[in-house]
Structure 1
Amino acid sequence: MGRKYRSPPLVEALCEFRLTPDTPWDMTIPGLFYETVKHEFPVKEQRVVQEVELIQGPHGIQQQIRTKEMILLFTQDRKMLIQLGPHLLVINALRPYPAWQRFKALIEMAWKSLGQVLEIRGLQRIGLRYINKVELPSSEARLWDYFDRLDRYTA
């Protein structure tokens, strides 16, 4: 078991699955998915989000902006959520982090639920991120007083 901090810096953990474009998607999927997870994630909201993609092409870098609808499903206390949109599934854990065992169980449940309502043909990317917020007492704080120095671990 890991070390417990009195005031942990972790503000959010998330696991993101990006499905391949050949995975079939239609607007019935969010409703079908919700039916499989509503016991854990009963609170639902809709959002319209914009994505910006930079693509290196023969004429330089080109920018593509896409708008898509997402469904956000929250636990009753709003400390955990699932974001579901075209070819995207994200499971978020907000502060306080529930520990890996609980977070992993929710990731597995969401992934299995998606597989029940959608033929997943492939993954473009899987990401697991932990977002920390470290507050130092002043702008003149020396980072090495708070963090291990990297050169201690290199030969």
Structure 2
Amino acid sequence: MPTSGHECHHECHHMSTDSETRSRYSNPPIIEAICEFYFAPGLEWDPTLPGKLHTNLGDEYPGKPRHQESIEFGVQFRGGSPQNFQFGEGPKKVQLITENEKRIVGIGRDVLSVHMLRPYQDPHDSDKTGWDEFRPRISRALSAYWEVVRPQGVKRVGIRYINKLVVPGEVTTAKEYLNCALPEVDGLPSRLVNLMSQVEYAYRDGVKLALSQGKVEGGFILDIAVIGESDDVLTLEDTGALVDDLRGREREAFEAVITDKARGLFNAA
């Protein structure tokens, strides 16, 4: 877990860049990419802040701002066993959107998120990946938030990629496309009808990776989230370094869990 600027920079310096770790896919499976920041708790929520941020970012997000409400789901454990399912109100956000609603910035109390919906990258520009657009959008949104809100610093950063693998024909098994698929078991039917699973991993430095997979009509969902938290508040510069670090881990995880047959679906260039 990064606890200082020096540690974060040292670790990120050794991470491979996106172009180094994988080929550019001409038809990437990404349906949504999200980068989310949670800031150290500050003063009471100022309802004028979204308007001030819209003034700074309006050229990029000229659509009419809209409100978003979310629901948080949790499980209460007792004696190591789940006892009660809990639903609660999640953080409310105001969303700044582009005219086509494919690029979004969400602003809430002590939280900022940046979203890229499909198409993730320009299909007509083979020299650029979606990250070449996403990373500058993250930087501009974070810098604008820092300028307007003046937070103490960042406590948690998350990078999340939601992918849909569209499979031709009838889907009978996931193992042809995903190395993380559940194994087939002798004595059980071989035809896959439904699938939903989530596992969580922890790196040695405390960064967490959540890997979810599920069967949907026409293929599979592969959802990868990498989350870094800090004991101390991170500066703007350190936060940017952590974003790059988490992105590198997400790409490595993605390439680790897909098979060559899945890569064929994405038309690797």
| 1:127/1:66 CA distance change after superposition, 3 Å | same
Give secondary structure in 1 for the equivalent of 2:69. Answer: strand
1:128 paired with 2:151, answer no
Mapping of residues 5-154 of structure 1, within 5 Å: 5-20=25-40, 22-24=41-43, 25-43=45-63, 44-52=65-73, 63=86, 65-66=88-89, 68-98=91-121, 99-137=130-168, 138-141=170-173, 143-144=175-176, 146-147=177-178
Higher relative contact order (CA 8 A, sep 6+): 1
**Structure 1 unpaired stretches of 5+:** 151-155
Residues in 1 aligned to 2:164 and 2:90: alpha-carbon distance in whole angstroms: 29
Please report how far the alpha carbon of residue 84 of structure 1 lies from its aligned counterpart in structure 2 after TM superposition: 0.9
| 1:55/1:107 CA distance change after superposition, 3 Å | farther
Contact 1:16/1:126 (<8 A) preserved: yes
> What corresponds to 1:153 in structure 2?
none
Residue-by-residue CA offset, 1:17-55 (whole Å, 9 max, x unaligned): 0112x3223212111111110110111212233334567
Q: TM-score, normalised by structure 1?
A: 0.79
Q: Quick check: which one's strand share is greater?
A: 1
Please report how far the alpha carbon of residue 16 of structure 1 lies from its aligned counterpart in structure 2 after TM superposition: 0.3
Runs of 4 or more off by more than 6 Å in structure 1? none
Residues in 1 aligned to 2:56 and 2:167: alpha-carbon distance in whole angstroms: 43
Give secondary structure in 1 for the equivalent of 2:88. Answer: strand
Q: TM-score, normalised by structure 2?
A: 0.48
| 1:113/1:53 CA distance change after superposition, 3 Å | farther
Name the amino acid aligned to 1:50.
I
Q: CA RMSD in A?
A: 2.7
Residues in 2 aligned to 1:67 and 1:126: alpha-carbon distance in whole angstroms: 17
Q: How many positions carry a matched residue from both structures?
A: 147
Please report how far the alpha carbon of residue 6 of structure 1 lies from its aligned counterpart in structure 2 after TM superposition: 4.2
Please report how far the alpha carbon of residue 3 of structure 1 lies from its aligned counterpart in structure 2 after TM superposition: 2.1
**Structure 2 unpaired stretches of 5+:** 1-18, 122-129, 181-255, 257-269
Contact 1:53/1:63 (<8 A) preserved: yes
Residue-by-residue CA offset, 1:87-115 (whole Å, 9 max, x unaligned): 11110011111311211000000000001
